[in-house]
A and B are shown apart, each in its own frame.
Chain A
């Protein structure tokens, strides 16, 4: 799993507060290229906020996040951190794909148009190139036939697979998943997880906030347990899931697995 060279993601002492409510209280972790990391934690533990901080959908108050060796969201000069203007944030985000709990597909565009919007409008790619990749990605997520459909005409599971394809269309180096199956009917979860499993096998670096313990056990290289805005425990899936060292992890797992 751990390829040689620098890690894909380095997180150092990240803090984030909404007003007086401190959500992240100093998060540190590293993700190697090709690693699949599952992030577990009770609701309100800050795991979704943490994920959104990585592609700077939320700005952080303190700390550093490096993605692919680049400091994210700010610039360091003379030992101080300066916030970057929007233009630089936008450019940095093109390297990071994110899949949301509620899909957030563009409802006024067809499935294919959803997939080519980013590459054409943001990267300035030629349309036919983007269309060709769009069709390829749709086939990859098992929706080759639905290119002309509108999102509302698809089931939740299909929409989420389109959302994954839309993120991949930007050819990101890192994929973030924010509870990708939480809004789905139980019988639709499997299809989405299968697409994610294939993606993991293809060597994509993935950070997945999820409650799917089975997915974490079967696919993840590492599992992180976050509670109260800090990393409580981190390790290989069998360590954290089967032999948790901390009481809080044990309590959480006993609730989820029961």
Chain B
């Protein structure tokens, strides 16, 4: 083939090859160290699907989803309150964020769990019970994690709402929409585009923070792993099993988040970004299709 004098030869990135090679070597060394270290790999494998651990994983997922749901509901509610014209609702929301964002979640979990110390009995008119019976580790974990999450979600949602321009609210009002209807139908759907990435971040954070609920005897995954290694002394093995499961869940969730973000990107750009599968498909068959197009010509 003749040389094309007009062709621009792309810059060669020798540094990238060099640093890439170094990284590969480092990873290989770490893997080798772990492979040869005093880790009983068959134990890791066998406990990966141990019923007790899988049950713990189920509890971790359950408390994560429920706490995030509670957090999101509280966040939406208090964010709208915080941006209200009413000074009373605004102050209530500000105080909520101040209180629950200002103290460690670990401490909040302990307070919820030990609530019986200040309120021995629960009485809601039709319902009477002892607090120790009501405030199970599950409920204490849900309230502790969810209410704390709500204070962070309030700020995330508020940021999302503020990212929507005033003109949208003007337009909604001019159609006769009340403030709440305008929020629900016009502002929040647009704010979601800004909220979802942070929400994903919070979700992954919650997945891991939920391990703190082991402090109040909630049987989530790390708690189960600890119970097992107290008995069989395979500490590292069980911690690696838990680490593996956390990474698997986070990986799966990142994929889900991609689709949710795509959903809320509607109308935001001329073309929607391709989905993961579409991208994979086009990468696999791009060369193939280009060749076919060439042939047809």
Binding site for B on A (CB under 8 A): 55, 57, 86-87, 90-91, 93-94, 96-98, 100, 102, 104-110, 117-118, 121-123, 150-153, 166-167, 170
Contact = CB atoms under 8 A, between A and B. Distances in A.
A151 B177 CA distance: 20
Interface in B271-285: none
Given A104-B167, A106-B168, A150-B267, A121 B174 contact: no
Interface string B147-191: 000000000000000000001101111111111010001100110
A55 B174 contact: yes
Nearest to A107: B267
Interface string B248-268: 000000000000000010111
B16 interface: no
A166 B177 CA distance: 14
A107 B268 contact: yes
Given A94-B176, A118-B175, A122-B177, A108 B266 contact: yes
Contact of B170 (A100, A151, A166, A167): A100
A96 B173 CA distance: 11
A100 B171 contact: yes
Contact of B270 (A55, A122, A153): A153
A157 B181 CA distance: 28
A90 B170 contact: no
Chain B, interface residues (CB within 8 Å), range: 20 to 34
A104 B176 contact: no
A170 B175 contact: yes
B206 to A, nearest CB: 27
B19 interface: no
A151 to B, nearest CB: 7
B170 A57 contact: yes
Contacts of A151: 267
B269 interface: yes
A108 B190 contact: yes
A98 B169 CA distance: 13
A144 to B, nearest CB: 20
Contacts, number: 72
In the A-B complex, the 6 residue pairs with the smallest Cβ-Cβ separation, listed nearest first, are: A150-B267, A118-B175, A94-B176, A104-B171, A104-B167, A122-B176
Nearest to A98: B174
A118 B270 CA distance: 25
Given A109-B267, A121-B185, A86 B179 contact: yes
17 contacts: A57-B173, A91-B176, A93-B173, A94-B175, A96-B174, A106-B168, A106-B190, A107-B190, A108-B189, A108-B190, A109-B267, A117-B185, A117-B186, A118-B176, A121-B185, A153-B270, A167-B174
Contacts of B269: 152
Given A104-B167, A118-B175, 4 more contacts: A94-B176, A106-B168, A121-B177, A152-B267
Interface in B116-170: 167-168, 170
B170 A104 contact: yes
Contacts of B185: 117, 121
Contacts of B177: 90, 118, 121-122
Contacts of A122: 175-177, 181
A106 B186 contact: yes
A93 B266 contact: no
Given A57-B170, A100-B167, A100-B170, A117 B270 contact: no
B216 to A, nearest CB: 41
A233 B57 CA distance: 76
B267 A110 contact: yes
B264 to A, nearest CB: 8
Contacts of B190: 106-108
Most A C-beta atoms less than 10 A away, residue of B167, B168, B175: B175
A198 to B, nearest CB: 21
Interface in B6-57: none
A152 B268 CA distance: 7
Contacts of A150: 266-267
A122 B180 CA distance: 12
A93 B171 contact: no
Nearest to A114: B171
Most B C-beta atoms less than 10 A away, residue of A57, A91, A97, A108: A108
Contacts of B172: 106
B164 to A, nearest CB: 10
A102 B167 contact: yes
B267 A104 contact: no
A102 B166 CA distance: 11
Given A100-B167, A102-B167, A108 B174 contact: no
Most A C-beta atoms less than 10 A away, residue of B167, B170, B185, B266: B170
Contact of B176 (A93, A105, A106): A93
Contacts of B186: 106, 117
A107 B264 CA distance: 11
B174 A106 contact: no
Contacts of A121: 177, 181, 185
